[in-house]
Chains A and B, each alone.
Chain A
Amino acid sequence: MTMANGKSGTLTKRDGTGISDDQAVALLHRMMEIRRFEEKAAEMYARGKIHGFLHLYIGQEAVATGAISALRDNDYVVSHYREHGHALARGLDPKRVMAELFGKETGVTGGRGGSMHLFDVSKSFLGGYAIVAGHMPLACGLGLAEQYKGTDRIAVNFLGDGAVNEGEFHESLNLAAVWKLPLLFIVENNFYGMGTAVQRVSALVEVYKRAEAYGIHAEQVDGMDVVAMHDTVARLAQRVRSGDGPVFLEAICYRFRGHSMSDPEFYRHKDEVERWRALDPIEQMKRRLFDAGVIAEADVARMQEEVDQIAQDAAEFAEQSPAPSRESLMRDVYARSPKLEEDGRA
């Protein structure tokens, strides 16, 4: 990426940590890609190309983008059902993600998972899960496996604020803490579990304090600030990697769209949404890079064209892809077991 002013290192901190200008621009680009992808998905849903539930990540792009950019390629990422952003941030092919939303053969799981169940093991992206907090025990198991094998690979588990009142949340935090599992929990606190405000259903609204009750190091971060997300996760991932046990991060963020496509949003005031829109993570990052002289309007315009094209290509690819064959319905209900096949026991 050519910078408008040829400057570099504007966002690098004095102590040498933080990100380079190239990385900063890449983060902006990724957030714009996710935003445009989600807008295209909404459009395709409205046109009847996508069915079922569709939970858009619009507004929360900085969380997944910043966090995942700070991980190693083979760290496990385990996410919730609003996970298109995490999948794209992890480098899953937008065409194959869109094809999955369309339910096509070429989708990341061949049309079997859908919007809420994206997987790409080759990218260590181990899924979107649709039972609130039900994925947390799996993340514990992935961390446990790496601890058992003696690697320094970590598991990063994204969850929503709605997950914190589930039993599996508490069971997982306790197990991770008592076994010192290499886990980074990232709660995306967007203040609503579906349509229910956190303070209406939570005895303790500061989510990170719950982790402290288990003796887990916990922090809060501005989830609308992609650089803060990146820096915080880079630091915390290092801490987890060192073997001192799990860390818990609460990212304060906001979703600009409804819970899913069918949400009339009776539960929150338009003024509140507007106040948060003023903190749009993409616009914030653009301003920051303009102010630092890293990019100019023309750069943004070009990036916008690029992400428009990515989203358009994804939709066209999905549209043109074949549906999975009905004959494939029963494939992979059970895994092939070579050891059983060897001696005719399968």
Chain B
Amino acid sequence: MPEITYREALRQTLRYQLQNDDRVFLMGEDIGAYGGSYAVTKGFLEEFGERRVKDTPISESVVTGAGIGAAMAGLRPMVELMTINFSLLAIDQIVNNASKLHYMSNGQITVPLVLRMAGGAGSQLGAQHSHSLEGWFAHVPGLKVVVPATPYDAKGLLMTAFDDESPVVFIEHTALYAAKGEVPEEPYRLPFGRAEIMRQGKDVTLIGYSGSVHQAYRAAQQLAEEGIEAEVLNLRTLRPLDIEGIVASVRKTNRAIVIEDDWKFGGFGGEVVSIIQEEAFDYLDAPILRCSGSDVPMPYSHDLEQAALPQEADIVALAIDLLEGVTR
């Protein structure tokens, strides 16, 4: 199987969609002549032309809304918002229109929109460019929220997003675009709502997604050296959420740590904890722990930023304490 980057995996699906479905078109800020802020759409304007690849004004709200409107009229637009930070300027369209139109219209209208954006921190981009707001979108009924962690996820989940009749918020991680992994050449689709067991284990379940699942994985490797076998769950989608998969893993390991880059207070990890205690309380041998970002606007300085983000060492320490019965 060829090894390609997360960026290339996304490109392969977008090219496939453009080549195979005339209803699909792409629009966003600097996706054409510039080639995309993260170079995901580089060369597409030359290959597919201005009808299919549209550079837009810096007007997140109308660009998102126009994507919704075009979807209402039977097309399959892919809107790229560059980064999740700019999605705040389109939040009215996403929350008041995209998520609600199917329901409010009693099923008359569908909004098959794919809304891509890059999220996450760790690149010293400062407080306004380092958000992990996927939990906000996952909070809204009517939206699907996809958070690919690997090139394999990226290609297969994006394929599925284009087959979904509901709006899909597809959140990539800025630090992962250059990450490599094995990806089949032919198109394939990964189901929403089904987590991947990245590593089997029996002692504790480490639950993560997107960037954080890689830290969980590396932490699990370190824990193995200490004789602790951690199971690593890659959620892949936050909504729908693989409740069954999470519960099955916790029933096996009897312990769980939820890891996320997002702020802890009110973060998505709290929802996962809540579900585990509702569905698997009797199987728990220890409190469910969380390893989250610090509740602070992201600082610029490298040391401060790293201090604000969950680290492998933090996950390792939490897991060891859990297994040893240390109360925090």
Interface of A toward B, CB cutoff 8 Å: 76, 108-110, 112-113, 117, 119-121, 126-127, 129, 131, 134-146, 148-149, 155, 167-168, 171-172, 174-175, 178-179, 331-340, 343-345
On chain B, the residues within 8 Å of A129 by CB distance are 97
- Decide if A335 touches B70 in the complex (CB within 8 Å): no
* Centre residue among B54, B93, B142 by max chain A CB count within 10 A: B93
A275 to chain B, nearest CB (A): 37
Q: How far is the CA of A206 from the CA of B50 in the complex (A)?
A: 36
- Decide if A335 touches B106 in the complex (CB within 8 Å): no
- Decide if A141 touches B65 in the complex (CB within 8 Å): yes
**What are 11 A-B contacts defined by CB distance under 8 Å?**
A109-B106, A112-B103, A119-B108, A136-B62, A137-B69, A138-B97, A168-B65, A174-B62, A175-B59, A333-B142, A334-B165
B315 to chain A, nearest CB (A): 31
B143: nearest chain-A partner, CB-CB: A334
A131: nearest chain-B partner, CB-CB: B96
- Map CB proximity to A onto B51-81 as digits: 1 under 8 Å, 0 otherwise: 1001011010111111111111111010000
Those of B153-172 within 8 Å (CB) of chain A: 160, 163-166
On chain B, the residues within 8 Å of A138 by CB distance are 65-66, 68-69, 72, 97
- Decide if B104 touches A112 in the complex (CB within 8 Å): yes
- Decide if A337 touches B61 in the complex (CB within 8 Å): no
Does B130 count as interface, using CB distance less than 8 angstroms? no
A287 to chain B, nearest CB (A): 40
Number of chain B interface residues as a range: 35 or more
For the complex with contacts A174-B62, A332-B103, 7 further pairs of A-B residues with Cβ separation under 8 Å are A120-B108, A141-B65, A141-B66, A168-B62, A168-B65, A174-B57, A333-B142
- Decide if B160 touches A345 in the complex (CB within 8 Å): yes
With A134-B92, A171-B61 given, is the CB distance from A141 to B69 under 8 Å?
yes
With A137-B69, A333-B102, A340-B160 given, is the CB distance from A148 to B189 under 8 Å?
no
Does B253 count as interface, using CB distance less than 8 angstroms? no
With A134-B97, A333-B141 given, is the CB distance from A127 to B105 under 8 Å?
yes
On chain B, the residues within 8 Å of A134 by CB distance are 65, 92-93, 96-97
Does B49 count as interface, using CB distance less than 8 angstroms? no
- Decide if A332 touches B51 in the complex (CB within 8 Å): no
Does B191 count as interface, using CB distance less than 8 angstroms? yes
- Decide if B68 touches A334 in the complex (CB within 8 Å): no
With A138-B69, A334-B102 given, is the CB distance from A121 to B109 under 8 Å?
yes
- Map CB proximity to A onto B170-195 as digits: 1 under 8 Å, 0 otherwise: 00000000000000000001011000
- Decide if A332 touches B102 in the complex (CB within 8 Å): yes
Does B6 count as interface, using CB distance less than 8 angstroms? no
B163 in complex: contacting residue of A142, A174, A339, A344, CB < 8 Å: A339
With A131-B96, A141-B69, A336-B165 given, is the CB distance from A175 to B63 under 8 Å?
yes
Q: How far is the CA of A178 from the CA of B61 in the complex (A)?
A: 16
- Decide if B104 touches A109 in the complex (CB within 8 Å): yes
On chain B, the residues within 8 Å of A148 by CB distance are 25, 51, 70, 75
Those of B88-135 within 8 Å (CB) of chain A: 92-93, 96-97, 101-112
Q: How far is the CA of A89 from the CA of B127 in the complex (A)?
A: 50
A248 to chain B, nearest CB (A): 15
Q: How far is the CA of A172 from the CA of B63 in the complex (A)?
A: 9
- Decide if A131 touches B72 in the complex (CB within 8 Å): no
- Decide if B105 touches A121 in the complex (CB within 8 Å): yes
- Map CB proximity to A onto B8-41 as digits: 1 under 8 Å, 0 otherwise: 0000000000000000010000000000000000
8 nearest interchain CB pairs?
A141-B69, A137-B65, A145-B73, A335-B165, A171-B62, A141-B66, A171-B59, A138-B69
B69 in complex: contacting residue of A145, A167, A337, CB < 8 Å: A145
On chain B, the residues within 8 Å of A143 by CB distance are 69
- Decide if A334 touches B61 in the complex (CB within 8 Å): no
B286 to chain A, nearest CB (A): 35
A341 to chain B, nearest CB (A): 10
- Decide if B92 touches A141 in the complex (CB within 8 Å): no
A171 in complex: contacting residue of B57, B74, B102, B104, CB < 8 Å: B57
On chain A, the residues within 8 Å of B56 by CB distance are 175
A158 to chain B, nearest CB (A): 15
A179 to chain B, nearest CB (A): 8
A113 in complex: contacting residue of B92, B106, B110, CB < 8 Å: B106
- Decide if B166 touches A167 in the complex (CB within 8 Å): no
* Centre residue among A76, A172, A334, A339 by max chain B CB count within 10 A: A334
B167 to chain A, nearest CB (A): 9
On chain B, the residues within 8 Å of A344 by CB distance are 191
On chain B, the residues within 8 Å of A336 by CB distance are 165
A338 to chain B, nearest CB (A): 8
A181 to chain B, nearest CB (A): 9
Q: How far is the CA of A335 from the CA of B97 in the complex (A)?
A: 14
Q: How far is the CA of A144 from the CA of B69 in the complex (A)?
A: 8
- Decide if B70 touches A141 in the complex (CB within 8 Å): yes
Q: How far is the CA of A76 from the CA of B72 in the complex (A)?
A: 11
On chain B, the residues within 8 Å of A171 by CB distance are 57, 59, 61-62
On chain B, the residues within 8 Å of A136 by CB distance are 62, 65
On chain A, the residues within 8 Å of B109 by CB distance are 119, 121, 126-127
With A121-B109, A140-B69 given, is the CB distance from A145 to B62 under 8 Å?
no
On chain B, the residues within 8 Å of A339 by CB distance are 163
- Decide if A140 touches B66 in the complex (CB within 8 Å): yes
On chain B, the residues within 8 Å of A119 by CB distance are 104-106, 108-109
On chain B, the residues within 8 Å of A142 by CB distance are 69-70, 72-73
Q: How far is the CA of A175 from the CA of B64 in the complex (A)?
A: 12
On chain B, the residues within 8 Å of A139 by CB distance are 69
A215 to chain B, nearest CB (A): 14
B103 in complex: contacting residue of A155, A167, A333, CB < 8 Å: A333
On chain A, the residues within 8 Å of B74 by CB distance are 145
On chain B, the residues within 8 Å of A140 by CB distance are 62, 65-66, 69
B59: nearest chain-A partner, CB-CB: A171
B70 in complex: contacting residue of A144, A174, A332, A337, CB < 8 Å: A144
